Structure 1
Amino acid sequence: MASSEHGLHLDRRFLLTGVAGSLGAAALPGAAAAQAAPPQRGRYPSNWPAPEPYGLADTRLDLWPREDNSFVLPLELRPRDKEQGRVWMRDTYVNCFTVGGRPLYVATGTTRAPGLTAAGPWNDGIFVWVSRSLRGPWRLVDTTGVRPGAERGKVWSPEFAGENRPGRTVVAPWQEYWHDDRFGKRGQAWAPEVHYFRGRWYIVACMGDHSRKVGSFLLVSEGGVEGPYRLVEGNRDKPFGDLAPGGPDFIEPGAYHHIDGSLYTEGDDAWLVLHNNLYAKFRDDMEDIVPTTNLPTFQQTPYSPEPYLEGAYVFQHGGKYYLLHAAWNRTSVNADGTTRHAYDPPGTGRVQYQYDAIVAVSDRFEGPYSPRWTAGVGAGHNNFFADHHGDLWATFFRNPAFGYWSAPSRVADAAVPGVVRLEWTGPAGNRLYVQRRNRVIR
């Protein structure tokens, strides 16, 4: 596979920097252990032995997005992006759909408003990019026919509340901007995903911690991928699901619902996936989830103790279901003075290091799911997808808030729309990893 689509001939303008290149392999944890190629079995690479005891994090260089297995998407820049020269993005989402007999790639994520250093206490909504190839060119979706005077590519925003009409809600009251003395302007959309299901476009997203109500919602397009989008009936008064425990102290009492909503579809059925352990079936008309006293839970193999997990996402491949989470790999010191890397809850002496992608596999959507493994170092809050050739990829963004990518020497390379190749260990191993080095040719 020598075409640029398959990634062996890479455009170095878009190659990742800082991991294997400028830092050097010796500067990375686990670099020495990673020098040996993973064992291989027949046509497929073997499962990597997981660190013991259960809950330790795997930091081997092979599991990092590197120059040889990943790149940053060359998304079309908005005026706000020109100074930095790229799009600032968290929670990167990319997928490929067949529309009209041709592949159409979509990209979106959490972005920030001009003049802000983060996506809070407010941002200005959801932007979408499209391409016919994973390599691009990536263009902002053409929204000029929907809103001629608005910023191109912006498909939904709290500022569109003026478009509400009787029987058609674009922005619910709980999603609108609001103000307080502590933060000023508040309200933001987080972690959007774009889906093409039964011939219609949907966006599932979350109103973030600074919003009047915090939680997940669904938009449906009345046209193409560019919209116009409206809110489904079930979200006119509140996010999906009931109130949830947790959240920062600045969230108003009674406002916090389950966040990071994701959409999983199979055939003509669709499910809402909520962090970090809940799911719900959508009604046939997709206007709300099926009512139930308590949302069902995935049957997982938790860590002990179980840390806070984010970004739940379900992906099907090879007849199996893969449940993704984002988990902080925290460092601490073992009794013998060595460094411990583990998916521990916060605690004294524990330092956030990398925001990892952890994965488990099951024969059924609801589980039971296997013990989790580290699928990608620093690749947390992502999604898996197949390109139009059937090759597998994951997204990543390099968390700029804490840990490795927040260091002053690296933060300029954080918050990116990145994609990294995946490898499958076959029908016997049934694991997905960031593509390791020296992999066997399929």
Structure 2
Amino acid sequence: MYYGNNPRPEYKKGDLRMCSGSAVDKGLVPPIRPAWELHLRDGVVTLGGDGNYYLTGSSGDNIWAWAKGIELWKSKDLHSWEYVGLVWDIDKEADEWVKKWRKHPRRAVRAVWAPEIHYIKGNYFICFSMCPHGIGILKSSTGRPEGPYVNAFTIDEPIVDGIDATLFEDEDGKVYFTYGSASKIALLKDDMSGFAEPFRQIVLENPDHNPSHHAKKCVGRGMNDLGHEGAVLFKRNGKYYLGAADDYEGRYSTCLGVSDNIYGPYRQRHESIPCGGGTGFFKDKEGNWWSSYFGNDSQSHFREKIGFIRVDFTPEGLAFPAKEQPFVAEKDRKNWENKWNEVWNKNK
């Protein structure tokens, strides 16, 4: 069911070693269906200025090693998706640093990782990473989501070393950038052509020092961070949410912290959507909050396909799966709601 000539063999349908669904059995994750059968990691959605939802992610024939560029999909309702096309072709449109093949364990690579489309200042921007590291930001030269896209920054080199970049526009029009483990944040210039300030280091109040809530690399450096990759940043009800993916009790989940200030300190580190992966949070046309989901651990019920989970928040502001889940099949809904009452109802 996965697109491409070179999918990882361990992700074949039916291999329970890689896809047990135990998180669904425990009531931690709703039994949502994938939006469609597409091999896609790191999917992120933005609501565009034209009322359509736009989706990007790690895609292509062999997303681990090679990509032609960045692909884009759109939808009016999150259910039916239309392929917009290849909106940025590396061979035709990219700088030389992007075109170069790089060394990665066991193979040479030229893969685009975790591209994110954002609707900012009335235009479309895409931040992207080249495997194994190197980040750039593109902007639409026409104001249309399909581009063409050109460099936002005025340099022919990575804006930073690293992966998993994201952008956030605050209510006052200021735009911020973070990446990787979300350990630091920088303000961008008003015209999006560069950084307006040096990066500021993020401090986490009362960090979670439980080793089972962190990847080994985080344990080794003291467990004073949110996660180790897949940065995310958004705002809800005047509170800033900063997060990164981590290994939380064997699940690859985004862990969020909450703050009254964009630069922190952040507090209340918590697992948001179990098994969701390095994800994005977005608000729909009706004001509901959602998280994209791609399943990247053996507790998930599917692997590396795009799905959507509606998100609710506790009175203290912690994110968790909502009871109402439009992507759960009717036959599974009653069972999910019963499990939600057992596992999550205490959050209300």
Q: Which amino acid aligns with 2:309?
A: V
Name which of 63, 70, 79 aligns with 2:28: 63
Q: Distance in 2 between matches of 1:181 and 1:366?
A: 33
5 Å-filtered alignment, 1:394-413, equals 394-399=291-296, 403-404=298-299, 413=302
Name which of 78, 83, 103 aligns with 1:134: 78
Q: Which amino acid aligns with 1:269?
A: K
Distance 1:324 1:62, change over 3 A: farther
Q: Distance in 2 between matches of 1:172 and 1:125?
A: 12
Name which of 288, 293, 309 aligns with 1:420: 309
Deviations 1:140-199 (A, max 9, x none): 12xxxxxxxxxxx11113222xxxxxxxxx411110043779866521111111111121
- The offset of 1:278, in angstroms, is 1.4
Identical amino acids, percent of aligned pairs: 25
5 Å-filtered alignment, 1:376-387, equals 376-387=273-284
- The offset of 1:290, in angstroms, is 2.0
Partner of 1:96: 47
Q: Which amino acid aligns with 2:187?
A: K
Partner of 1:232: 152
- The offset of 1:30, in angstroms, is 10
Distance 1:62 1:235, change over 3 A: farther
Partner of 1:8: none
Q: Which amino acid aligns with 2:113?
A: W
Name which of 433, 437, 442 aligns with 2:320: 433
Deviations 1:75-114 (A, max 9, x none): xxxxxxxxxxx21000111122343xxx21011100132x
Q: Distance in 2 between matches of 1:279 and 1:221?
A: 24
Partner of 2:177: 272
* Matched-pair contact (CA < 8 Å) for 2:102–2:131: no
Q: Which amino acid aligns with 1:300?
A: L
* Matched-pair contact (CA < 8 Å) for 1:234–1:289: no
What is the RMSD of the two structures over their aligned residues, measured on CA atoms?
Answer: 2.8
Q: Distance in 2 between matches of 1:112 and 1:30?
A: 28
Q: Distance in 1 between matches of 2:23 and 2:281?
A: 25
Partner of 2:139: 220
Given the alignment of the two structures, is residue 178 of structure 1 paired with residue 65 of structure 2, yes or no?
Answer: no
Equivalenced residue count is: 295
Distance 1:179 1:366, change over 3 A: closer
* Matched-pair contact (CA < 8 Å) for 2:312–2:319: yes
Q: Which amino acid aligns with 1:309?
A: H
Q: Distance in 2 between matches of 1:270 and 1:181?
A: 32
Partner of 1:144: none
- The offset of 1:127, in angstroms, is 0.6
Distance 1:395 1:190, change over 3 A: same
Q: Distance in 1 between matches of 2:284 and 2:184?
A: 28
Distance 1:191 1:30, change over 3 A: closer
Name which of 158, 161, 164 aligns with 2:90: 158
- SS class of match (1:227): coil
Given the alignment of the two structures, is residue 287 of structure 1 paired with residue 193 of structure 2, yes or no?
Answer: yes
* Matched-pair contact (CA < 8 Å) for 1:283–1:289: yes
Q: Which amino acid aligns with 2:22?
A: L
5 Å-filtered alignment, 1:171-210, equals 171-178=94-101, 186-209=109-132
Q: Distance in 2 between matches of 1:178 and 1:320?
A: 41
Q: Distance in 1 between matches of 2:167 and 2:285?
A: 20
Name which of 289, 299, 317 aligns with 2:236: 317
Given the alignment of the two structures, is residue 87 of structure 1 paired with residue 30 of structure 2, yes or no?
Answer: no
Partner of 1:122: 66
Q: Distance in 1 between matches of 2:105 and 2:267?
A: 44
5 Å-filtered alignment, 1:358-369, equals 358-369=255-266
Deviations 1:104-129 (A, max 9, x none): 1011100132xx3xx12222221110
- SS class of match (2:128): strand
- The offset of 1:311, in angstroms, is 0.9
Distance 1:287 1:181, change over 3 A: closer
Q: Distance in 1 between matches of 2:99 and 2:79?
A: 36
Distance 1:303 1:182, change over 3 A: closer
Given the alignment of the two structures, is residue 109 of structure 1 paired with residue 57 of structure 2, yes or no?
Answer: yes
Q: Distance in 1 between matches of 2:263 and 2:135?
A: 20
Q: Which amino acid aligns with 1:216?
A: I
Q: Distance in 2 between matches of 1:234 and 1:299?
A: 31
Q: Distance in 2 between matches of 1:207 and 1:181?
A: 11
* Matched-pair contact (CA < 8 Å) for 1:121–1:183: no
**Structure 2 gap segments, 5+ residues each:** 1-13, 210-221, 324-339
Partner of 1:4: none
- SS class of match (2:201): coil
Partner of 1:391: 288
* Matched-pair contact (CA < 8 Å) for 1:422–1:435: yes
* Matched-pair contact (CA < 8 Å) for 1:63–1:433: no
* Matched-pair contact (CA < 8 Å) for 1:71–1:420: no
